[in-house]
């Protein structure tokens, strides 16, 4: 029998490795940015076209590479970060596997230009599908410029799995923000299709957060800082009143590396216990510094998950530090609830003795002395005159005559408004009007049928009604808007503003009126008639969160997602008490819908119970 096991060719092995390293254009940007940071770059520029599918270019002013290093960097498992296995447990750099550039070069057209400070000229290398097509000298400043073109050009199946440009751009921005937040001392810029999305100068952590998420973010942050032998914690958490319906602004960094940790996230949520609204999530930007030997970052291909040696202690310290910060800045109540700040002694009076109050008494004052002029020297010389009113009987003169002129009041003719008491258990008016609905547990509407009972989920039913109404309004542009007396100004981050621009026309067809949409602020002058002004911000946040999760590819799916999200937010909730008219309104409107049996999310809206089924219950 012939041997069947053989070594894979390098270009095939590189393509297999690319499956772990490169899932989408954002993965390429992450790897290239980390290489630039490891090269001690102070200014990094990122340029992408068509969400990175056509071009990804990263330019930095780092140390650069020599001719030999430039060629070696594209070989598999070639790295300058580790030399022995023990180095894996003392890593202080980003990349270390030595597969990033080799994997990228296997599935794209790559051009690398690099130059060190001591070299007179730089090196330019072009690679297509792991094969070097040219290598020559070039003129360029110190640093590295790497261009990745036509990603997945030789793997059409992988390219077809990529999402729309909007979705891929969202992933690119996410990776860019994570790296930029981890390194506030480095200047970053991001340009997409010629439009500058971010220009971030070197600054501190707080200012970097504000530059990325908008100027109004600064007032929402509460600083957190704690230093122990296990971990050093610094960063910020958002105030509870600014919590959102989505988990967007939640960032953990361990040794300047972005990570995802449900366990640590639970510690943050536990610290906010009792301060958040239902189904709201806190925002946080927390930087943890631990001993590299106490963590293992090599447990996940994307290196976004880390294993800690002592997770329980880390959990307790993080929770306590956040609780302390919330209490210290009067965001959460303190333990001493009865303390009155007005009773605190100022520092200026600390060593002063209490002075004896002086009391002045007028010893000549006699309240029983029959004098018309009473003189008091207590607060100065004032004269008070007491006059006797001898004709007090004259006040009542004429009242008897007026009373006699009016006819006597007949008490028997007075009609009192009272409720008629009957022996019926239910009001006869309701029975005559044919009342056939009642509410069960503030969640279901129960009505009678010829064949039995009809039970309707009030939230799902109202969602179906509003959903079809919104679709009709968006299609025929017949929505009615209520004008606001004072314009409503809301703050959003850069990416949310971009999404609002995309769906602005559809929102206006539902009844919203936008006077202006600026860089980080939106001014609204009109809202749909079904929405209360106090609910607008919550509704738009939920809508943008839904769009962020699944950005639609075409106009129809965008309209459908918009209608679903708005209908779900505007519909009456379970637990809302409805009067008879509201119950009957939902019942009538539901069966006027095109698809009354299912909600927009394909959930059952109503159920029937026949008389036969009820009879079986009592058999």
pLDDT at 528: 83
How does residue 138 score in pLDDT terms, banded at 50, 70 and 90?
very high
**Bridge partners for 514 per DSSP:** 524
pLDDT confidence of 19, banded at 50, 70, 90? low
DSSP string, 502-525: HHHHHHHHHT-EEEEE-SSEEEEE
Tell me what pLDDT residue 268 has: 93
User: What percentage of the chain exceeds 90 in pLDDT?
Assistant: 27
69 confidence band (pLDDT: 50, 70, 90): confident
Q: What is the pLDDT of residue 429?
A: 45
Q: Return d(Cα 488, Cα 524) in angstroms, integer.
A: 5
pLDDT band at 425 (very low <50, low <70, confident <90, very high): very low
Retrieve residue 536's tokens.
């607008």
| Distances 441 to 435, 447, 523, 575, 577 between C-alpha atoms, Å | 18, 14, 39, 7, 9
- What's the CA gap between 466 and 564, in Å, rounded? 9
Section 66-70 average pLDDT: 88
Query: CB–CB of 304/254 below 8 Å?
Result: no
Percentage above 70 pLDDT, the chain? 77
Confidence category of residue 200, pLDDT binned at 50, 70, 90: very high
Q: Which pLDDT belongs to residue 33? A: 93
pLDDT at residue 17 tops 50 = yes
Q: How far is CA 244 from the centre of its chain?
A: 4
pLDDT score at 474: 75
Rounded-to-10 torsion of CA 12, 14, 20, 24: -100
- The pLDDT tens digits of the residues spanning 213-266 come to 887 788 889 999 999 989 999 999 999 888 887 777 899 999 888 998 889 999
Locate 69 and state its tokens: 């290093």
Give pLDDT, residue 274: 84
**How many CB atoms are located within 10 Å of the residue 610 CB?**
12
| pLDDT tens, position by position, 147-197 | 999 998 888 888 888 888 888 888 899 999 999 999 999 999 999 998 888
Measured over all CA atoms, what is the biggest interatomic distance in the chain, rounded to whole angstroms? Answer: 140
pTM assigned to the model: 0.68
> Does the domain at residues 212-328 carry the CATH identifier 3.30.1490.190?
no
Higher-confidence residue of 513 and 473: namely: 513
Quick one: DSSP state of residue 592? T
Cα–Cα nearest to 78, from 35, 36, 37: 35
Supply the CATH classification number for the domain 444-607: 3.30.1370.100
Mean pLDDT value across the chain: 80
Q: Which two tokens stand for residue 581?
A: 């008219």
CA-wise closest residue to 549 among 573, 565, 569, 536: 565
Domain boundaries, the chain: 10-200, 212-328, 444-607
Q: What is the pLDDT of residue 142?
A: 93
Query: Does 212-328 match 444-607 in CATH topology?
Result: no
CATH topology of domain 10-200: Heat Shock Protein 90 (3.30.565)
**Residue 295, φ and ψ in degrees, nearest 5:** -130, 155
pLDDT of residue 412: 59
Q: Cα(565)–Cα(470) distance, rounded to whole angstroms?
A: 11
């Amino acid at each position: 029998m012939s041997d069947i096991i053989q070594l894979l060719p390098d270009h095939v092995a590189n393509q297999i490795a690319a499956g772990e390293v490169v899932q989408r254009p954002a993965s390429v940007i992450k790897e290239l940015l980390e290489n630039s940071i490891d090269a001690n770059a102070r200014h990094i520029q990122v340029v992408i076209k068509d969400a990175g599918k056509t071009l990804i270019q990263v330019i930095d002013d780092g140390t650069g590479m020599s001719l030999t290093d430039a060629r070696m960097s594209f070989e598999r498992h070639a790295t300058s970060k580790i030399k022995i296995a023990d180095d894996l447990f003392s890593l202080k750099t980003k990349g270390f596997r030595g597969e990033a550039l080799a994997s990228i070069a296997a599935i794209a057209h790559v051009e690398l230009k690099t130059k060190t400070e001591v070299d007179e000229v730089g090196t330019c290398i072009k690679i297509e599908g792991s094969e070097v097509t040219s290598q020559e000298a070039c003129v360029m400043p110190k640093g590295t410029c790497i261009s990745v073109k036509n990603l997945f050009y030789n793997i059409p199946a992988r390219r077809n799995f990529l999402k729309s440009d909007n979705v891929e751009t969202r992933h690119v921005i996410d990776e860019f923000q994570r790296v930029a937040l981890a390194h506030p001392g480095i200047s970053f810029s991001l340009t997409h299709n010629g439009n500058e999305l971010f220009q971030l100068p070197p600054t501190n952590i707080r200012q970097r957060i504000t530059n990325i998420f908008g100027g109004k973010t600064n007032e929402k942050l509460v600083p957190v800082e704690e230093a122990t032998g296990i971990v050093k914690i610094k960063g910020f958490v958002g105030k509870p009143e600014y919590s959102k319906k989505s988990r967007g602004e939640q960032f953990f960094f361990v040794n300047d590396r972005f990570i995802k940790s449900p366990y640590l996230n639970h510690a943050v949520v536990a610290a906010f216990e009792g301060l958040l609204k239902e189904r709201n999530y806190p925002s946080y930007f927390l930087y943890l510094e631990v001993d590299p030997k106490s963590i293992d970052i090599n447990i996940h291909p994307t290196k976004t998950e880390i294993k800690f040696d002592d997770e329980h202690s880390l959990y307790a310290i993080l929770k306590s530090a956040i609780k302390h910060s919330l209490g210290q800045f009067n965001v959460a109540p303190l333990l001493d609830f009865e303390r009155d700040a007005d009773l605190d002694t100022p520092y200026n009076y600390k060593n002063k003795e209490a002075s004896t109050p002086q009391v002045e008494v007028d010893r000549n004052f006699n309240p029983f002395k029959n004098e018309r002029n009473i003189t008091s020297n207590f607060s100065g010389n004032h004269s008070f005159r007491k006059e006797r009113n001898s004709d007090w009987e004259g006040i009542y003169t004429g009242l008897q005559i007026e009373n006699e002129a009016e006819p006597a009041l007949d008490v028997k003719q007075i009609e009192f408004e009272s409720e008629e008491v009957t022996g019926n258990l239910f009001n006869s008016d309701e029975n005559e009007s044919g009342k056939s609905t009642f509410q069960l547990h503030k969640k279901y509407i129960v009505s009678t049928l010829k064949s039995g009972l009809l039970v309707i989920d009030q939230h799902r039913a109202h969602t179906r009604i509003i959903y079809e109404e919104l679709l009709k309004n968006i299609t025929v542009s017949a929505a009615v808007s209520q004008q606001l007396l004072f314009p409503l100004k809301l703050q959003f981050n850069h990416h949310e503003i971009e999404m609002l621009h995309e769906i602005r026309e559809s929102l206006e067809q539902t009844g919203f009126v936008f006077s202006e949409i600026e860089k980080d602020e939106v001014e609204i002058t009109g809202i749909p008639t079904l929405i209360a002004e106090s609910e607008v911000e919550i509704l738009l946040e939920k809508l943008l969160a839904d769009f962020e999760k699944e950005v639609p590819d075409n106009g129809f799916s965008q309209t459908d997602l918009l209608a679903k999200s708005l209908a779900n937010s505007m519909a009456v909730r379970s637990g809302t008490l409805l009067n008879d008219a509201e119950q009957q309104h939902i019942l009538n409107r539901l069966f006027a819908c095109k698809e009354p049996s299912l909600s927009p999310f394909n959930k059952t809206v109503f159920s029937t119970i026949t008389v036969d089924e009820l009879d079986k219950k009592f058999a």
